[in-house]
Chain A
Amino acid sequence: MFIDIHVHTVAQTGANRYGTDQTYATPEQLIEMYDEVGIEKAVILPGVNPECAHRSQSNEEAIAVARQYPDRFIAFCNIDPRMVANSPDADLGYLMEYYKEQGCPGIGEVCANLYFDDPLMDNLFHHAERTGMLLDFHVATRQGNTYGIIDDLGMPRFEAEIQRHPDLVWLCHSQAWWSHISGDVTEETRGGYPKGPVVEGGRVVELMRRYPNVIGDLSAGSGYNAVSRDPEFGYAFMAEFQDRLCFGTDVCAPKNRADVLINLANFMKQALAEGKISQQVFDKIARKNAIRLLGLDE
């Protein structure tokens, strides 16, 4: 069985996702999809930051879904760094404490298009660290025309924030993070899904070795690509960081049943069947790391 560390769902469907004929998947659609592939539980990441959605969602909507299906969903809250007072001194902690009491173990997916070292963002990290909330985030390669927290090639601003917040648990996600698994990533390729053999010296490997609070969220095409582009590297990477990688899908719509719902699950199952990863590694990445990080019962 799997626990999905990264999914988006809507109880109030709203408009179709722009340019498509589907809304985000409803909880009921997700449960049906999950039952098909053996996903027992999932973390809902509310779409609160304006930069990455055609509609704004409330934390309360995600919490209501988790309360309706407590065996299947865990709600994160999402706190925009500009909330409360649009100030680096804003007391974001009271919101985090409130949502923690409502059962949210983390914050995310943080998609605000601000630099990692923007004082507003640093304030968010400060309060998340202080309140013991996990932080799932998306990385952007530029300011404007995209979403996510912005960094330069090599992720120097992110590393500075890791150092400033040693007790914050970072759940790292997106192309601009996972492309750094390989040492040959460039300005041109870092925002995409680079293919082919992984070259020594990747920043993902370096940062994960250096900082025990850096966790890989393997969801989406980006996480799957990182471990499958060079399968032998991927198996070794999963074995090395078996305690700090989490299975995830990033399912956004019912049509994702043909791709992100199954890609990583199939890759891991095949690796286990072929003896490329051990049962222990499989279990940790599939669910046990999530259980530990989210504070769930076995």
Chain B
Amino acid sequence: MFIDCHIHIAMISDIGWQRDSDGPASPEQFIEMYDEVGIDRGVMLPLVIPECNFLTQSNEDILMIADKYPDRFIPFCNIDPRLMRNSPEADLSYPINHYKDKGCKGIGEMTANLWWDDPRVTNLCDHAEKCQMPLLFHVATQEGNTYGLIDDFSLPRFEVQVKTHPSLTFLAHSNPWWSYVSGDVTEETWGGYPKGPVTEGGRIPELLHKYPNLNGDLSAGSGFNAVSRDPDWGYAFMTEFQDQLLFGTDVCRPANKDNVLINLKNFMEEGLAAGKLSQEVFDKISHQNAQRLLKLDD
């Protein structure tokens, strides 16, 4: 069984991610892709934050899909830290609890291009923690010309938020996060997909050890790259952090059926077949951690 912790989906797909390109896959296209490769359910992350969007989606749009296909899709809401008057004092628990009551299991993908220690981001973390809603996020290496919560090299600002929000479940995603599996990441490589052997001293193992509320969302090219660039290291990493990693794809469009839809899944199945991953580790990462962290049985 696989639960995909990270997808983008839309009922209206006739506007492209860029000019002359295709848009997000529809629920029906997802179901077809999922059935072909054997993915049971997907977590829908609404396209609400302007910085990474071409489509203006609402949380309500996502809830409509969840209502229509409750066995296949799990809704997250997305709460922009600037929502409700653009203030660090905004009562974000109000919309968060509204969407929690409607069945949303978390918040994200958080892609606002604000610094990790911006008071509005701290406010969002405060309210997400208070409402017990996991937060899935994308990291940015700079302000402007990109999306995601911004940090300096080595993620010091992020660590402060993890440390000061011990009851908030963080779901970490994106290139500038996963590049830190290796100790040799540099200012030049941390926003990309560094290849080759993983060296000791990566910030990710360090942070995952230190903070049990921190989890890795293995979706997208970045998550797959982190565990597959040095396969033996990757399987050992998955074993060590078997309770803190989640399978995901980050499928954004139908064309992703040839890459992120299958890459990590194949890697995990090969690891299982070759005895490099135990059945227990495989099951936890493929679906059990998602079931537990997102409280899917509640």
Contacts and interface: CB of A to CB of B under 8 A. Distances in A.
Bound pair (A, B) = yes
Interface stretch (A10-18, A243-251, A258-266, A279-287): A10-18
Interface in B1-41: 12, 15-16, 18-20
**Most chain B CB within a 10 A radius of its CB, from A48, A50, A78, A112:** A50
Interface string A99-136: 00000000000001100000000000000000000000
B291 interface: no
A54 B93 CA distance: 11
Interface in B44-86: 48-61, 64, 78, 80, 82-86
Contact of B113 (A49, A59, A82): A82
Contacts of B84: 18, 53-54
Given A51-B85, A58-B61, A78-B56, A14 B50 contact: no
A149 B178 CA distance: 36
Given A18-B94, A94-B19, A145 B145 contact: no
Main secondary structure of the interface of B (DSSP, over half): loop
A69 interface: no
Contact of A54 (B18, B53, B60, B83): B83
Contacts of B167: none
Interface in A188-229: none
B54 A56 contact: no
Main secondary structure of the interface of A (DSSP, over half): loop
A296 interface: no
Contacts, number: 114
Contacts of B113: 82, 86
A264 to B, nearest CB: 26
Given A50-B50, A54-B95, A147 B85 contact: yes
A87 B16 CA distance: 18
Contact of A87 (B54, B64, B145): B145
Given A145-B86, A146-B86, A87 B144 contact: yes
Interface residues of B, number: 38
B144 A86 contact: yes
Given A85-B145, A87-B145, A60 B56 contact: yes
A59 B50 CA distance: 13
A61 B19 contact: no
Contacts of B48: 50, 56
8 contacts: A15-B94, A15-B95, A56-B80, A58-B55, A60-B61, A86-B146, A91-B18, A95-B54
Interface of A: 12, 14-15, 18, 46, 48-61, 77-78, 80-87, 91, 93-95, 98, 112-113, 144-147
4 nearest A-B residue pairs (beta carbon): A50-B80, A80-B50, A12-B60, A94-B19
Interface of B: 12, 15-16, 18-20, 48-61, 64, 78, 80, 82-87, 91, 94-95, 98, 113, 144-147
Given A56-B48, A146-B86, 6 more contacts: A12-B58, A15-B95, A51-B85, A55-B83, A83-B56, A147-B86
